[in-house]
Amino acid sequence: MSNSVVNMYSDTVTKPTEAMLQAMITAEVGDDMSGEDPTVNRLESMVAELLNKDAAVFACSGTQSNQMGIRSHCFPGDELLIEEQGHIARFEGGAPAAISGITTRTVRGRHGMLDIADLEGKVYVDNQHLAVTKLLCCENTTNGGGGRTWPVDQIQRVCGWAHEAGLKTHLDGARLFNAVIASDVHVREICDGFDTVSICFSKGLGCPMGSVLVGSAESIRRARRVRKMLGGALRQAGIIAAAAIHALENHVDRLADDHANARAFAEAIADIDGISVELDGVESNLVFFDVDPAVGDASQLSAALRERGVRIGAMGPRTLRGCTHLDVDREGVMLAAEAIRNCVHAGIQQFAATPFGPFCRA
């Protein structure tokens, strides 16, 4: 909301900086669908090289690039495996089934992450009665899993298992560079085991929109065809690609500030009676915390905070998520923490609870 004092609903709410806007205004453009937008071409080459993949294709959103990646590996009747909290499984509108006829089979892991023990026995044998298990999807950082970052050795184990089982691998890297900063490793170390990787620029990197899918030349060739079918083949997309280039060049290292602000916010609310937060679980820019049933419902607290100009969304009946980003500084997160304290002390049960509340998705 434009009148919010502090908006920690999602990192998707960021506005382009003046420098980013200037890059967009001065971008050289052409017809991207025909491969003639020089700024889009530069972005695609830049990301492919950064992740050590053969090729890349620009997309409108992370959901679109995820679905392009899935369809590049699977055919109707196939299935993918994913941790049960994964964004592709929960928050993309059933797109694998609706768009590509692909079944999503969820697997229970820990904090949105899987390991070999979770996956063993999950690949169907070749049988006419069964879907063909074709793809393993992962997410880093995990959204529904609490903003956690995959250990690199766990990624390597899981991707190695998948390839040995004959599966392709796809990474939903909506907050990939948050994982890079939190892990203190090169992005290639995270991405080497994945056949395709989706990167979203409209979250922590602060762009108004846009995503890129990277992979082998053949998978990206297929993904471009899917992009066309989805209506995502754009014209003068260099205006948006210029924002993404600016973000890659200027906004990656500063994600450490968002992580530090998330930690400060978590520590500030940890001692509020009626609020609980797992401090050891705060690894990136997402802070998940619970409200005690005696205090009220998560959606009631979210509504009470709105009255005080603070947007923090509910993730379930008792759980809320605060998200730090480019447009929220240390003063902002401290104001939000104080607002939570005041709401809890004043009582929130006068606010109407709803089944999902102002539900966080992205």
pLDDT reported for residue 163: 98
pLDDT reported for residue 2: 41
Q: CA-to-CA distance for 70 and 58, rounded, in angstroms? A: 15
Q: In this structure, which long-range contacts are made by residues 274-278, counting pairs with CB atoms below 8 Å and at least 24 apart in sequence?
A: 274/344, 275/340, 275/344, 278/146
Q: In this structure, which long-range contacts are made by residues 293-298, counting pairs with CB atoms below 8 Å and at least 24 apart in sequence?
A: 293/318, 295/344, 295/348, 295/349, 296/347, 296/348, 296/349, 296/351, 296/353, 297/348, 297/353, 297/357, 298/357
Q: CA-to-CA distance for 355 and 179, rounded, in angstroms? A: 31
- CATH T-level topology, domain 15-250: Aspartate Aminotransferase; domain 2 (3.40.640)
The pLDDT profile of the chain, 362 residues, written as one tens digit per residue, is 345 689 999 999 999 999 999 999 999 999 999 999 999 999 999 999 999 999 999 999 999 999 999 999 999 999 999 999 999 999 999 999 999 999 999 999 999 999 999 999 999 998 999 999 999 999 999 999 999 999 999 999 999 999 999 999 999 999 999 999 999 999 999 999 999 999 999 999 999 999 999 999 999 999 999 999 999 999 999 999 999 999 999 999 999 999 999 999 999 999 999 999 999 999 999 999 999 999 999 999 999 999 999 999 999 999 999 999 999 999 999 999 999 999 999 988 888 776 655 556 78
Is 40:237 a contact under the CB 8 Å cutoff? Answer: yes
pLDDT reported for residue 3: 53
Domain ranges for the chain, please list them. 15-250, 254-346
pLDDT reported for residue 351: 83
Q: Measured between alpha carbons, how far is residue 329 from residues 5, 127, 219, 336 in Å? A: 12, 55, 40, 11
- CATH T-level topology, domain 254-346: Aspartate Aminotransferase, domain 1 (3.90.1150)
pTM tops 0.85, yes or no: yes
Supply 224's token pair. Answer: 């471009």
Dihedral of alpha carbons 15, 190, 214, 124, sign = negative
Q: CA-to-CA distance for 204 and 13, rounded, in angstroms? A: 10
DSSP labels for 299-343? HHHHHHHHHTTEE-EESSSSEEEEE--TT--HHHHHHHHHHHHHH
